[in-house]
Amino acid sequence: MEFKPLTPLSKPTVLLVHGDTRTIRHEQWNRVQQKFNILTYDCIDADEFCKRLAPGGTYCNINAIVRTGWRKAEPYASHFLYTAEVAKHYPPSLKLIVSSGHGHDEADMDTLTRMGIWYCNTPDTCTEAVANTALYLILSAYRHFTFAEYCARNDWALSRSLGMKTVDPLGSMLGIVGLGDIGTSIARKAALGLGMKLCYFNRRRDVERERQVGADISYCESLAELLKNSDCVVLACPYTASTHHMLSTKEFALAKEGGMRIVNIARGRLIDEAALLQAIKDERVTGVGLDVHENEPGINEGWSGDYMATVLPHIGVCSKTSWDGFEKGCWDNAEAFFDTGKPLTPVNSIV
């Protein structure tokens, strides 16, 4: 079917989903309100959403879904709207989904693609916030600042037990799994700010990303090679079926003498946390910094009293810089799609 550009008589209907944490770019917001019929999502759960998608329902003629703001903020954090089970209720008019953030593991991409629905994320919009979080977690994995803060508040003398346990990251090897926007920024900050050496593992070598780092970085042909050579490992890769528990017992056993440090700012299910806790007991792992967790929301009870590990409640993205980028990226995609027939940052490809 030939694509017909947007006209005043054919305003697309966009379902806007946003939580309590969102910025408004007023010039753009005023423009999109003129270009689109905007419905605001207010369902109590995904089941009600499905009912509203049915013929005659409030959302039965939507052309796009735009989900902006902090995806993990209330009140819709637990509303998973892009699964295969929900997608079977989508009306035929729905052709575009745009959702804020880098990750897209909550969307059933195969199903959406078969249905002819473009799915877009907003890459490189929260890079600075997440990379800064990673840098903090790297430092804390080496210097155990979480334990030190606990001591400052509760038992000053206990902090002296850190004397022979902490070390600076200067000159040590940082292994980055996933040299995308965020991984590249982490590499640059760690090399230029902390004086760390760098290596990385991707599915394939990326010479352009290596150039963007602005420091020497070596490519590892396998995850095993990276683990054997790294003093600290940062996960900055997507979560897929093939990367589920990519770090588990076998991988932790590859740690060099003296152990490795583990930092995860990507997705919790990349790590088998039971195996990670055991690796700490076995001294295969000597420092941990986690912003994401295997069974969110909440953390593994093994971390609850362990102040030698730094655990955050998936707030790496949490910055007004991110919300502004999310808002722009989401509406830029919607405007481009209805103006030209193709969005700007699609994850999938629709023929």
Whether the pLDDT of residue 5 is over 60: the answer is: no
Tell me what pLDDT residue 8 has: 45
pTM given for the model: 0.89
Whether the pLDDT of residue 9 is over 50: the answer is: no
Distance (Å, whole) CA 222 – CA 92: 43
CB 138 within 8 A of CB 117: no
Percentage of the chain lying above the pLDDT 70 cut: 97
Tell me what pLDDT residue 56 has: 95
Q: Could you tell me the pLDDT band of residue 255, with boundaries at 50, 70 and 90?
A: very high
| CATH among 3.40.50.720, 3.40.1800.10, 3.90.1200.10, 3.20.20.220 for 13-125+320-340 | 3.40.50.720
- Specify the fold of 127-311: Rossmann fold (3.40.50)
Q: Rounded to a whole number, what is the largest CA-CA distance in the chain?
A: 73
Query: Going along the chain, which residue ranges are E strands?
Result: 13-18, 37-40, 64-68, 96-99, 118-120, 173-177, 197-201, 218-219, 232-235, 260-264, 285-290, 309-311
Q: What is the 3-class SS of 238-302, one letter each residue?
A: CCCHHHCCCECHHHHCCCCCCCEEEEECCCHHHECHHHHHHHHHCCCEEEEEECCCCCCCCCCHH
Q: Give the residue numbers marked as catalytic.
A: 267, 296, 314
Tell me what pLDDT residue 259 has: 95
Mean pLDDT score across all residues of the chain: 94
319: tokens are: 């910055």
> Tens digit of pLDDT for each residue in 80-131?
999 999 999 999 999 999 999 887 778 999 999 999 999 999 999 999 999 9
Percentage of the chain lying above the pLDDT 90 cut: 92
> Tens digit of pLDDT for each residue in 18-64?
988 999 999 999 999 999 999 999 999 999 999 999 999 999 999 99
In the chain, list all ranges with CATH 3.40.50.720.
Answer: 13-125+320-340, 127-311
Whether the pLDDT of residue 336 is over 70: the answer is: yes
